Structure formats: structure tokens, C-alpha cells
Structure 1
Amino acid sequence: MSSGRRPRYQLLDLLRGLAIIAMVVFHIAWDLYYFGYSDVDVTTVLGWVVFQKSILSSFLLLVGAGLVLAHGRGIRWNMFWRRFGILVGCALLVTAGTYWMFPDFFVFFGVLHAIALFSLMGLAFLRWPPWLLVVIGVAVIAANFLYNDPMFSSRELGWIGFWPSSPPTSDVVPIFPWFGVVLLGMAAMRLILTSPLGEDLGQFRSEEPLARGLAWMGRWSLPIYVLHQPLIIGVLWGLTQLQAPVLSPAVLSQSQDFVKSCTTACLGTGSDLARCDRYCGCAVEQVEVGNLWEAVAATNPTLEQNTQLRAIAQLCTAMADKAP
């Protein structure tokens, strides 16, 4: 049975507004690269990668904090299921839209999918003591760095985590490690509410135009998230129809994308860059010579395809282990 509703915390809305602005900035940079208006690949440049991970961490910490605020005194099921249904619907729109635009790299478990599932999972931890939430949260995060297996690089299992290289998608937010961040957000809010900061947080109000604007964006962060990418992409696509980008198209060729994914997976095993360059250079050459792209892309390769790919792996491992 649920109890009274807490007042809305403007500071959390403000922080959520800052996070959505940061995400829009990141997506603009990604879109500029994708359409060939920028030569900065934000998925590989360290500063941009840290920026993106920080944005995602901020959102998930706020998801955990929001769960405690909304349901810490008792789960308000009607409100929860209404919000959960909206999240799932928006997540499916993202999947459909990205499948239409990028069928080979569509979003099957992105930010909205994760927030919906993590919100549901988080309900089970609402009454747990903060110290235990911290322990479990850190364990969930650490587990992803201590264990990996190539079988989790498929779309069927990629939403769990534990993959040495990302599944074929433009965005994925797996349970491991990211649910751990939600648990840390829950622990932090539990501690805040039992301290003098809890009252200060509830009473914080700013009438400054900037603060009110950010808080407004935080309250409407979901529709902003859903709508901003189609709008940005539409504008950039329109520009390409008026004038082609000055830069060469930024989208990787099939071979380049293979080498990039192969190198990431190889480095994840602890091999040095020189060995990974030799291995992946050999592998892409063998795949191209044998025209085995269908086998590489197959989710469930046939016995013959598996045999061909194993032969390439054995050959290229021997080549990579040779002294340069």
C-alpha cells in the first residue's frame, strides 16, 4: 500500500535537464561525423567517450534516486506502470526508427530500454540498506570488468553485458555494469533522505530563468530524448541534399568496421596493439579473399561457416604470434 506523494525536487529536475543538454550535444557531434561534416569519431576519441559515459552515468544515478523518491515510502503501482508503459513504448519507437535507418546497427537495448528494465528491477531493492546497495552496485559494475565471453557479443545476449566487443548496434546499455550505477543512485538518495541534506534538497527552489529552464527540460526529458535525434538527423539530411559535405563520408566501410571491432575485441583479451594489428589485418584479408562476410555477420553460423572462421582464427593467431 502506498503513502503520500513527496514534493517534486527541483534540483533533480535541474540535474536531469543538464544531462539531457549534454546528451543532445553528444548526439549532434555523432550525427555530424556520421553525415561527413566532422572528422571527429566521438565513439573512439577518449574525451568524447568519457563525456558520453558520464552522461549515461548521470541519467542512471538519477533513475535510482528517482525510484527512491517516488516509491521509497511504498510502491505507487498505478504511477509506476503508467511510466513503465510510456518508457517501453518510446523504447520500441527508438528500435523501429533505428532499424529503418540503420538495419545492421539498430538499437535493440538502448538507454530507454535499460531505464525501463532497471526501474522494474530496482523495485526489489527499495527497502535494502544503503550499505548493501553500495556493495551490490559495486559488485555489478566490477563483474563486467572481471569476466567476459564472446557469446555475449550477440544481440540475443548483448543486453546482459560481459561482452569483449560490442554487439552490432549503435547504442547498448547492458545490465552489467549499468544496473550497478542505478543501485548506487538508490543508495545515495536513501542516505540523503535520512540526513539534514534531505530537507535542504526538498526545499531547494530557484526562480532564476536558467534554473527554471533546466528544470523544465528535466521534467520533459523523455519527449526531448525521443524527438531530438529525428530533428537533428532531418536537418543534417536536408543539408546534404543542398550541398554535399566537404569531408569524405565518415561511415566506415565493411572492412574498416570489421578491423575496428576485431581490434577492440583483441585488445580486450590483453594482447598488445601490435599483435592485434597483425591478427586483425590477417583476418580481414582472409575474410575478403574467401568472401566470408555472410559468415562473419551470421548470428547463428552454420557448421561450414564455423569451420571456415575457426580456420581463419587459427591461421591469423599463428601469424600474429610471429615476431614482427
Structure 2
Amino acid sequence: MEAGGLADASHGETGLSDTVGTAPQPQTPTRRIDVLDLARGLALFAMATYHFSWDLELFGYLDPGTSTHGPLKLYARAIAASFLFLAGVSLVLAHGKGVRPSAFAKRIGMVAGAAALISLATYFATPDSFIFFGILHAIAAASIVGLAFLRLPAPLTVLSGILCIAVPLVYRNEAFNPAWLSWIGLFTVPPRSNDFVPLLPWLGPFLIGMGVTRAALSRGLTERLAAIEPGDSPVARATRFCGRHSLAFYLLHQPVLLSLVWAASQVAPPTPVDPLPAFVAECETGCSANNSAAFCQRFCGCVTDELLSRGLFQPYVSGQITQETDARIPAIAEQCTAQSR
């Protein structure tokens, strides 16, 4: 899932050359904006709490589907939106007067490199649901796209962000279902991944963050933010420290959390989990991308009943048989599709 603000730039730069066009640009603040570090740190802590719930579910301490449905699903989306919004803010603060190629390339290289590392690690750990376009991939891609919006008027950038959010709600096409195109976000069947953050709609909050920051710069609001002292308590200092080192926090927090949950499972193992609810939840999630909720409930109930009645449920969920290796599986899907119409 979701981490962010990883295009870290809570302070502006002075003495930057105007590399695109000649229109005068608003001055960026010279002081670091501590409240942005604080906001980024709070978002990171929120992300860690969500991932902790995911880890508890993975080890069987929470019911299957807990972290991907209901309030926790909304929580995860709010966290992702906040990270991408803050990343858009950072891009404008760092490069609003003109792109500094070396600094931008270094930051993109770090984020993209970390994204590639996560893809590689999850490919070996969970090859069926590895992270091929997660939050880091989305931030890197959005940062590159965002360069085209650095000099556009703030209202136009905000409007573009809103359109990015709206387009997937009104248009999808099967042509975007293959993995090499699904990252765009216009698929009809979502790919399997433990953290999938497609460019659409998630470019939306990034561009909105850019537009809001340009408007704030033109009105001198960033100088006021830079003047705010967010407190000097140990908690506030720790939060700002994590916000300033968000990429390191993102890369390290999950191994730490997984290790803690694993250690707890050795001392107090969870109650064995019934795989049936997880199977039904996953089936309905995949089905709902292109069908009504009522249809998906009927279809997934039918598939579950057929698999159980034929003694195929355990072999299927354990991976002993698949729809590619056993012709009975697609036959059941076809039968249940017809019965559920």
C-alpha cells in the first residue's frame, strides 16, 4: 500500500534559473516548512497502522478481507491520496521556479530504484500478487508527468487533477487489462497485486497538490506556513524526522512490522483461518470491477457451491489446480455466469 510524500522537498530553493519560458514566478520560501514534514510524518504513521492491520490479516489474527473492505479500505485510500497530494506539493516547492535536472534526476532515481527493489522482493515473496505498480511507482510516474504542469495556471492544474479522478469512473476498456497497460488505470478487471496504485485516478491528488501549492505561493501562504513552529516535544520531533526521511521509513517499516507479527505468532499462534470467506471476498472484489454487486454475489456463491460440491475447493485455493490446468474450473465459471444473469 501506500507511502508517500517521497518526492521530499519541504523547502524551496533560491537563485534558481528560469529554464522554461519567461513569465515571472512567485518566490519560494527559503525556510524549511516544518508543518509539511509533520504532515508527511503523520501520513507515514497512518500508513504503518494500515499495513499493521494487513500484516495481522496475513498471519491470521484478523478475518480475511478485513484490510481490503469497509472502513479500512477507505482509510487506505485516504492515506494514498494524502501521500500523492504531499508529493505534488513537494514537486512545486522544489522546482517551481525551474526544473533542476540533477536534483530531479537524483530524487526520481531514488524513488524509482526503491520501487524496483520492492517489485523484485515481492516477486520472489508473493509471485502471484507482487507489487508491479505500487505507491512508489505511482509517485515516480506522477512526478515525471507533473513536470508538464509546473508552469500551468493553478486552476488548470487542479481541474486536470479532478479530471484524472473522474475519467476512470466513466470510462474503462478491456484493452487496458493486460499487466503492461493496467498501470494506466482504465482496466475493467483489476490485476492481482498486494499494492496497486494506478496512474488514474491517483495522478489526481498529485496534480491537485501541485495546483494548490502554486496558488499558495502566489499569495505568500507558504511563508506563513514556514513561520509556524509545530512544537518541540519528542513526539513532534520524531514525527518531523520521519517526514524528512520518508523513503527510508517506507522501506524499513514493513520488514519491522512483519518481524514483530511473526515473532508474536511463534508465541501465540492465531486460530486457524477458514479460507472460504477470503475466497468469496476475493471473488466478489474481482467481479465487481465490471458487474453489479447483486450479480457478483450470485456468481461467487454459485462458484463456491460448485467447487465445494465437486471436492475442488481445497485443491483450487491451495493452488494444486488452476483454471489453466483443469478444464473444470472455467466450465464452472461459465456455468455460474449463465445462471447468475
With normalisation by structure 1, the TM-score equals 0.84
| Partner Cα distance (1:227, 1:151) in 2 | 36
Give the unaligned 5+ runs of structure 2: 1-14, 18-26
Structure 1 position 76 matched with structure 2 position 100: yes
**Equivalent residue for 1:230?**
255
- Give the CA deviation at 1:260: 3.1
**Equivalent residue for 1:181?**
205
**Equivalent residue for 2:167?**
143
Counterpart of 2:69, as a letter, is V
Cα deviations by residue, 1:139-175 (Å, 9 ceiling, x for unpaired) = 1110111122345344322211123443111001101
Cα deviations by residue, 1:187-243 (Å, 9 ceiling, x for unpaired) = 010111111423202222334223332211100111011001011112222332344
Change in CA separation of 1:297 and 1:55 when aligned onto 2, cut-off 3 Å: farther
Cα deviations by residue, 1:86-125 (Å, 9 ceiling, x for unpaired) = 1112112211222232121111111111111111111111
Provide the secondary structure at the position in 2 that maps to 1:43.
helix
Aligned pair partner of 2:288 in 242, 267, 273: 267
Aligned pair partner of 1:122 in 146, 153, 159: 146
- Give the CA deviation at 1:136: 1.2
- Give the CA deviation at 1:81: 0.8
Aligned pair partner of 1:220 in 225, 232, 245: 245
Counterpart of 1:226, as a letter, is L
Note the aligned Cα RMSD (angstroms): 2.9
| Partner Cα distance (2:324, 2:44) in 1 | 34
Change in CA separation of 1:157 and 1:295 when aligned onto 2, cut-off 3 Å: farther
Whether the 8 Å CA contact 1:165–1:264 is kept in 2: the answer is no
Whether the 8 Å CA contact 2:16–2:98 is kept in 1: the answer is yes
**Equivalent residue for 1:167?**
191
**Equivalent residue for 2:3?**
none
Provide the secondary structure at the position in 1 that maps to 2:77.
helix
Counterpart of 1:225, as a letter, is Y
- Give the CA deviation at 1:276: 2.1
Cα deviations by residue, 1:249-308 (Å, 9 ceiling, x for unpaired) = 37x47x953x434323433445242x322222334566786989766479xxxxx98xx8
Change in CA separation of 1:240 and 1:154 when aligned onto 2, cut-off 3 Å: farther
Change in CA separation of 1:98 and 1:249 when aligned onto 2, cut-off 3 Å: farther
Whether the 8 Å CA contact 2:35–2:225 is kept in 1: the answer is yes
| Partner Cα distance (1:37, 1:271) in 2 | 31
- Give the CA deviation at 1:71: 0.2
With normalisation by structure 2, the TM-score equals 0.81
| Partner Cα distance (1:296, 1:141) in 2 | 34
**Equivalent residue for 1:211?**
236
**Equivalent residue for 1:318?**
338
Structure 1 position 156 matched with structure 2 position 180: yes
Alignment of 1:40-119 (within 5 A): 41-119=65-143
Structure 1 position 199 matched with structure 2 position 223: yes
Change in CA separation of 1:154 and 1:35 when aligned onto 2, cut-off 3 Å: farther
Give the unaligned 5+ runs of structure 1: 299-303
| Partner Cα distance (2:172, 2:231) in 1 | 49
In the comparison of the two structures, how many residue pairs are matched?
309
Whether the 8 Å CA contact 1:35–1:236 is kept in 2: the answer is yes
Change in CA separation of 1:242 and 1:312 when aligned onto 2, cut-off 3 Å: closer
Counterpart of 2:300, as a letter, is C
